[in-house]
Structure 1
């Protein structure tokens, strides 16, 4: 393809990417949006509902900030939470005036509202077209590009509908909104969430934060054998109000974090957990009927959502959602959401609110950054790029298989210990050098190889970060350190490709006091 120039390039076409592109376009920037699949029809939001906080200013909002901080293991930031609540409340009003239909009916008394995800994304795509944003579907980005000064200046990739056709887009600023990483667990809509944006950001100098909080699981109908028999089609997760039962038929208290932890521990120990088909809501009941036993019980299993519902991701360093790499901005699930959710997973309206707010801020920040740049110079990749070699030595499926072996099981990610983490680190780190030259290919094979490299990179960052936090906090559970440690009321930054590093964040954190913990591997 002929190289394209734009003021702002947005990588990713989910809610965060769409809001970023709209915000940049409304500020007068020329915007190009590239998506791995089809903007408006892919990703987790297209396979369910999107929830938003809707809390007006006043006592109720102050109370929500306090509750969010408490539930996040003291890692959140009240100013960030308040800003997200304010931005979302204003935008929800705008969406209502634009004709979006909310459930429940929008009112100041409803602190949480929902939209149908597919319709929401379809409307956002129409808004993008009306705003003059150029949308390139089926154009996965493989690498970010930098100029002679190390400033991010665009991206390059391939067009999967024409596999041998590559593309290059130069831009004054780039917003990465590629979503999180679910490690190909089969969660609905996460087939595109393979950690590409995290790897691309790290290659140009972006830092990561909270990668130990990457172990969010949901309960879904079906055991492993049933899933293999039925096929790989996505299965919706159970709602929080569904009662679950053990093998004896006794109800298991699944309400709140403690109840869910008991259920996950039971599954990790090999016990069976069931739901009753007649008690499941639609559309879960229709899907669950495929797995129902003769007595109406439906076996359940745990499915890893990874960083999609976790809080780890690319570190942002300002309210414009800039990263530590100049010229690169980030939005949505690809970012670290510790400032808003702390160490807890995405529940309620957190995810929808963050995607909307961070998208608006990142798009505005990118447009302002691009406006201040001189004429774009020559763009080049920052590093050779893992998974972009000639290929032939390693099958990407083997890489994905090894990654899943060390991430998907509950005993690997939900319940952790120094022993299991060190074992995973040794296996995953040992494979990384081969990704530079032996993993690659051409056309569509090049995309699969790059995704495998990204999955491996994200798995390494999560394991190293989990080992560096010897405590239990939020969703991070260490069986050898079952309680919280006040010394670790701080965030852990991570990064590195050939050599993974982890260090504490914050002006009060003195890394020299804990060298053995934070550099154990």
Structure 2
């Protein structure tokens, strides 16, 4: 049953409706227009599903991949692949699953060859063959937009999703806002794929304007669980004051203090060495280890990496320039929505997750996947989730359109108490930045600082849950504030529970690795956050 009464729309999207709302139905709704969302849409359409894709921005230009030049983890089957999996596994903190990695590499291998057969312009290697291990972000996402449209997918750009719909047993679609017309939309669907990206906690990095953890919040409201959220402390070298978090050129960098004294990175993690130095004073970098032929290669292959230097009139190979570390959160981190099977199901019937929205622990463990593995993960997980969502919708048959549905969103939309005008979404997002971006709170962690941060974040959550409401375009910012706060609380509660240091989770008060914690931690709940081990036992220290 579909309730089309205006009052129902006011419940689904709070506020006055000035134009006729948009109502659509589909077999599969994909939320998010990055590579994972694009591949999910193509896979679902290939399986015969009617697909709608909604994007917070514009499919083809929004998200972290579009402005990037990224590699892929592209390894042929055989002994070489097994060796690559074993080699990477030794660096991931014991949390990876070789079977999952092999599946991902299989899917990426086949799909990248398919991409080449479609005519994607891969670069040509020295032997005159397409080099399938490189994807130039703008070209790649422009190409994928055309493939999605060619597959018959209905694409709604600038249509951020605000909340999911449920029928009491399963997820049944989503509700959101058409920003350009200031009208609500509702898509009723047999299944939903969340490909909403990760969460950068409000940091200024390339493509992260839409990476506010929206999918995590919507999934949790439907009953899903997060996994690996403590592994959300990935930071990137960035020329100051730019937002350019591109790591490749730093392979040829040296780092120095303000007085020119070198920062030693021999035998240790470079990011940790630079972070320690930044807490003491300014840090500078220079690509002085790059030979002339490497310099030319970098300028050809990574031209946007040099724009900040060109604007400042600096030769980055011959001169020092100021450097900072910017938080990439779960965009390049690990944590996300827990996956419960090989098809990227979330444990909530009808709801699937892919790309940065899903936890990557089985792939990358406690360390960042970087560009290549994460890119291949987006391809594989998007394809798996799209096919699985199409199959779920097909099993529903004609029942999908007849289900009575209700909106599942709460924080920022439907306060539990009286609405108050003084509860400001922008101020709440500012608190998240203050607690999640500083090196001495998130990069380096201690129980005392984690608890102090959680005191503020919990207070923000209580305020917004009880009193924050918004209408129209402001509802998008209200939901972003709620998602940022919820994601931060899951991250720091999980960080408290992991009483050790492992990978990017660096506890200064617990510097050693604890073999007993070689397991995933799952975080659930919104008002009351609970963290348990993957085996269901309580963590070593209850947060």
Asked whether the two chains share a fold, i.e. TM above 0.5, the reply is yes
Is 1:500 paired with 2:529?
yes
User: Equivalent residue for 1:230?
Assistant: none
- Work out whether residues 3 and 169 of structure 1, in 8 Å CA contact, stay in contact via their aligned partners in 2: yes
Is 1:324 paired with 2:347?
yes
In the alignment of these two chains, the number of paired residues is 503
Q: Which runs of 5+ in 2 are unaligned?
A: 1-20
- Work out whether residues 243 and 252 of structure 1, in 8 Å CA contact, stay in contact via their aligned partners in 2: no
- The superposition leaves residues 312-337 of structure 1 with CA deviations (integer Å, 9 ceiling, x where unpaired) of 00001111100021110000001100
User: Equivalent residue for 1:298?
Assistant: 321
- The superposition leaves residues 206-232 of structure 1 with CA deviations (integer Å, 9 ceiling, x where unpaired) of 00000000010001111xxxx3xxxxx
Distance 2:420 2:66 in 1: 33
User: For 2:74, which of 47, 50, 54 is the aligned residue?
Assistant: 54
Matches within 5 A, 1:35-434: 35-103=55-123, 105=125, 113-149=133-169, 151-163=170-182, 165-222=183-240, 227=241, 234-239=243-248, 240-247=250-257, 248-252=259-263, 258-275=269-286, 281=298, 282-291=303-312, 296-374=319-397, 375-376=399-400, 377-389=403-415, 392-434=421-463
- The superposition leaves residues 496-517 of structure 1 with CA deviations (integer Å, 9 ceiling, x where unpaired) of 10001100003xx643xx5xx3
Corresponding residue SS for 1:169: strand
- The superposition leaves residues 20-76 of structure 1 with CA deviations (integer Å, 9 ceiling, x where unpaired) of 000000010000000001111111111111321111111110011112211110000
Distance 2:246 2:131 in 1: 23
- The superposition leaves residues 309-366 of structure 1 with CA deviations (integer Å, 9 ceiling, x where unpaired) of 0000000111110002111000000110000000001225111100000000000000
User: How large is the RMSD of aligned CA atoms in angstroms?
Assistant: 2.3
Deviation at 1:439, TM superposition (A): 2.0
User: CA distance change for structure 1 residues 253 and 109 in 2, over 3 Å: closer, same or farther?
Assistant: farther
Bigger shift: 104-113 or 385-394?
104-113
TM-score normalized by structure 2? Answer: 0.88
User: CA distance change for structure 1 residues 477 and 264 in 2, over 3 Å: closer, same or farther?
Assistant: same
Bigger shift: 132-141 or 112-121?
112-121
Q: Which runs of 5+ in 1 are unaligned?
A: 228-232
User: CA distance change for structure 1 residues 200 and 59 in 2, over 3 Å: closer, same or farther?
Assistant: same
- The superposition leaves residues 148-175 of structure 1 with CA deviations (integer Å, 9 ceiling, x where unpaired) of 32x1000001111122x11111100000
User: CA distance change for structure 1 residues 414 and 292 in 2, over 3 Å: closer, same or farther?
Assistant: farther
TM-score normalized by structure 1? Answer: 0.92
- Work out whether residues 3 and 167 of structure 1, in 8 Å CA contact, stay in contact via their aligned partners in 2: yes
- Work out whether residues 106 and 113 of structure 1, in 8 Å CA contact, stay in contact via their aligned partners in 2: no
